[in-house]
Structure 1
């Protein structure tokens, strides 16, 4: 009875989030994803470039990245993004810093798609336990939002190239932020990603040796599968399915498939923590299970917590408390 009510609550929450979303046209936009690509690239050309990027570690390494331009004012940090877009607001990265009494441990938080607020409770909780929490605005969110937009349609959409550019931008921005934290003296750096943020956190952890612990909430491997099957992305699928099938979408978004980085995530020295929802309709459990199996096959030993709730109800008691306690134990805070 309770879980039937929980499922209905999750569906009602999904319907509220769906109200503002509109289906947008399918666009390849290869030049945006892969600078220098043929402006009139075919889908096959796009997929070939994407598959090459997925096996190129340099794709998520900002070329000649500058660590200049950081400005700190009270609890706010701003710095220029490594990727310049036509949306001026999106080109400046904003991060909120909740300091602790320690200058050794820091955790960078990557929020979910269309987040309406930062995670004040998480920041407060862990900062009191000796961890400085840094909450970075992902592309087209919060202070970086596109003027006039009601949701972050430029971060994740049926524009294949812009979606790759946006996730790549989030990864570059996150890595630049981590370099700054290292320069400030922090030596133990963790990343925490939630839903879409877990893809960003996972890709960063796979490519950046400065990250010692990665916690992924409500995650899956293939972003293509998540968009195709998920409750929150029906409007995106509507723009895709008349022009591309799931098999080709997987190829086109190969750089965004965390399964492709399982070997990297299994590297020595990186600890993994995963929180999954058994009743998730946004990131289907079978996608998460496939990702977990890929990690284990690669030699990783993720600490996995499975909660009997949905994607949105993970934020309700008792599930949020169980997830928080599991994260606290994983990070070894006393």
Structure 2
């Protein structure tokens, strides 16, 4: 009875999230995704460029000639993104800093798609336990939102190239922030990602060797399959389906598939923590379990907590309490 109610609650939450989402035309926009690699006039040409980028170890490497103009004021950190987009607001990165009073442990949080507020409860809970929390705004969210937009439609959409660019920008921004934290004296830097943010956090952890711990909430490997099968992205699938197949979308977004980075996530010195919802209809459990299998086969050190709730109800008691305590233990454990 309780879980039937919980499923209905999650479905109601999903329906409210669909109200502003619209079906749009598919756009390749390869120049955005893969600058300098040439144009793509067809889906196949786009997929070829994407597969080359997925095999390029430098694709998620921020440029050396980076602008390091960081400004910290009244608990807010700002700095320029190294990806220039046509939305001026998106080109400045904002992060909320909840300081612990110590400079040994820091956690960078990447929020979920279309987040409307930061995680002040988590930030306060962890900062009181000696972990400085930095809640970074992902592209096209919060202070970086596109003027006039009702949701973060430029972060993930039927524009294949802009989606790749936005995720790449999020990774570059995260790595730039982490390198700044290291320069500020933080020795133990971890990342936490929630839902779409877990893809960003996973990619950051895979490519940034200074990250020692990564906690991924409601995650999976293939972003393409999540979009194709998930409850929250039906409008995107309806936009894409007339012109390409799931197999083509998997190729087009190959750089964003965490399964393709499993070997990097299994690197020495990186500990992984995954929290999943067994009743999740946004990130289907089968997709999550496939990523876990790939990580385990690669030799990754990963702890898993499975909770009998849905994607959205993970944020409600008692599930969020269990997730919070599990996260605290993971972040504070000695290596």
Q: What RMSD in Å do the two structures reach over aligned CA positions?
A: 1.0
SS at match of 1:59: coil
Provide the residue aligned with 2:235 in structure 1: 235
* Correspondence 1:11-50 to 2 at 5 A: 11-50=11-50
- State the TM-score, normalized to the length of structure 2: 0.98
Task: Give the superposition deviation at 1:39.
Answer: 3.2
Provide the residue aligned with 1:72 in structure 2: 72
- State the TM-score, normalized to the length of structure 1: 0.98
CA distance in 2, matches of 1:35, 1:237: 26
SS at match of 1:215: strand
Task: Give the superposition deviation at 1:63.
Answer: 2.0
Task: Give the superposition deviation at 1:64.
Answer: 2.0
Q: Deviations over 1:47-101 (max 9, x none)?
A: 1111111121100001224252111111001000010000000000000000002
Q: Do the aligned residues in 2 keep the contact of 1:29 with 1:161 (CA within 8 Å)?
A: yes
Provide the residue aligned with 2:198 in structure 1: 198
SS at match of 2:38: coil
Structure 2: 5+ residue runs without aligned partners? Answer: none
Q: Do the aligned residues in 1 keep the contact of 2:51 with 2:254 (CA within 8 Å)?
A: yes
SS at match of 1:150: coil
Counting matched residue pairs gives: 334
CA distance in 1, matches of 2:258, 2:188: 23
* Correspondence 1:274-285 to 2 at 5 A: 274-285=274-285
Structure 1: 5+ residue runs without aligned partners? Answer: none
Q: Do the aligned residues in 2 keep the contact of 1:23 with 1:239 (CA within 8 Å)?
A: yes
CA distance in 2, matches of 1:31, 1:101: 44
Provide the residue aligned with 1:325 in structure 2: 325
* Correspondence 1:57-206 to 2 at 5 A: 57-206=57-206
SS at match of 1:109: strand
Q: Do the aligned residues in 2 keep the contact of 1:225 with 1:246 (CA within 8 Å)?
A: yes
Provide the residue aligned with 1:268 in structure 2: 268
CA distance in 1, matches of 2:121, 2:19: 27
Provide the residue aligned with 1:301 in structure 2: 301
Q: Do the aligned residues in 2 keep the contact of 1:65 with 1:82 (CA within 8 Å)?
A: no
